[in-house]
Structure 1
Amino acid sequence: MTRDAGASTGSAGASTGNARLQDGSRSQNSRRQLIAEHVLEHGTVTVTEIAALTGVSVMTVHRDLDELARRGVLRRFRGGVSALPSSVFESNLDYRLGVRVAEKEAIARSAAGLVEPGMSVLLDDSTTALALAGLLTATVPLTVLTNARRVVDVFAGQEGVRLIALGGEYSHTHDSYLGVPCVEAVEALAVDLVLVSTSAMDARMTYHQEQDVVLVKRAMLGSGARTALLMDHSKMPRTALHRLCPVADFDHVVVDARTDPRLVAELRKQTDVRVAGDDASRP
């Protein structure tokens, strides 16, 4: 009995320890996201300022900055840190995978309602499309086309899924395939539904900061009988260097619940808008 009680106590202690580790991991990720957003907003900040902002030690700040610099989000210098150009940090997959995770998952759940068994769907290399991919593995039969390596990994070997990987020049930043070969492959297709995201939009237009990505996304949108744009609130209202296409060109726009209601109202004048978690937004 004593041994059982001791084992039970040990198990409880291990559970508590695991919970603390998970909380610590979430806290670390949240803190690093806060740091990244603060630096991106202010351009250049000092280590002391970040320590005051986050309430952790200077040593912990240095570890956080080292990791963010390793991911390509920020640039270190003696005593501080500065933001890399938007074309670098906004495209970095490691950075994008760690931000607005809950919003992207909510958008993905709403967008999954657009997909029916038997359809052919084209997913781009956005992290929101990656979140959606994980929800579609049971929607079979399904034909999935994508230029994103991680989306390919999601569907590889899935029963009932016909998977077509779109080749091109490999981009380490995006972990996907781009360039002229990818555009030409996409232009040869005709699919039921295209689901994409992009880096910025306002009430009338969508944008992206990279020309090569714009060309691939335009080709994708041109290949679909229907198109859907998946956007979290942090991307709007914003602009980027290159215009992608007007909002009105999309058949559906899916946003998260934190999107400004005034912007949602403007978007609804142009197309079908679904607010993730808002059943009233669904026709």
Structure 2
Amino acid sequence: MDFSIVIPAKDEEQGLAKTLPLLREKYPETEIIVVNDGSTDGTLQVCEAHGVRVVTHPYPKGNGAAIKSGARAARGEHIVFMDGDGQHNPADIERLLYKVEEGYDMVVGARGGIDDQASLARWSANSLYNWLASWMVNRRIHDLTSGFRVVNRKKFLSFLYLLPNGFSYPTTSTMAFFRAGYSVGFVPISVAARLGKSHINLVRDGVRFFLIIFKIGTLYSPLKIYFPTSMLVAGLGVMNYLLGSISSGGWRFTNMSTLLILAGMVVFLMGLLAEQLTNLQYKDAVEHDD
């Protein structure tokens, strides 16, 4: 299979020193691109020592920005994305490629239980992501946030404008592929402990956690999020009206019940508008594929 390997890296000297020799040994003729995202350690020197292609950012732009740079630079029909921190086993690439040959447009290396995650908090967050995304697409999603995946390059490039410059590119790209009707598969993998310092920040990424929850919905089908929310809000308004009427002995709307019912209607209309905008958002990508 014609494929390129893209590795985003910011200060990943230790991980690349472990991963690049294994990749070069197993895939000597394959294009390997390391996107050096403004590293200040020996990342560039390690890449040069192993003869891989390097795309360098003059300053750190984020994991998603590195992914976009690597995707634009890649020449293969498919792209293998993997992290530069030494967690991913190059031997698993072959298993993902076999899955692609079954007709999948994206194949994700799905991590296992809590032992394969960095912490209990991250494992819990990822489990919630997976559950919500599975509910949205009506299909079991084993790992929404894994950075180890193979994608059809042409189809991936059509969604490049959707990808954030930060860390949520796996979530965005997975939901975009599902929304466009492309085939997404999963292959179980194990990951090693990362080498080097983690770039995860508890406060910053805690906020990002909640933003991703909303992003999952808006990327696939906003109405599946907005409609239940509108029914809940409007239902509270009706309940407030009934309880108030029973306690006062008269059937009349209070300001609170009126406000809640109107708020529910507004939320529903916002979801309807968001659904139409989402359809337009994916129109160009599907037409480009055709």
Q: TM-score range by the shorter chain?
A: under 0.3
Higher-RCO chain (CA-CA 8 Å, sequence separation at least 6)? 2
Could you say which structure has the higher helix fraction?
2
State the TM-score, normalized to the length of structure 2: 0.27
State the TM-score, normalized to the length of structure 1: 0.27
Could you say which structure has the higher strand fraction?
1
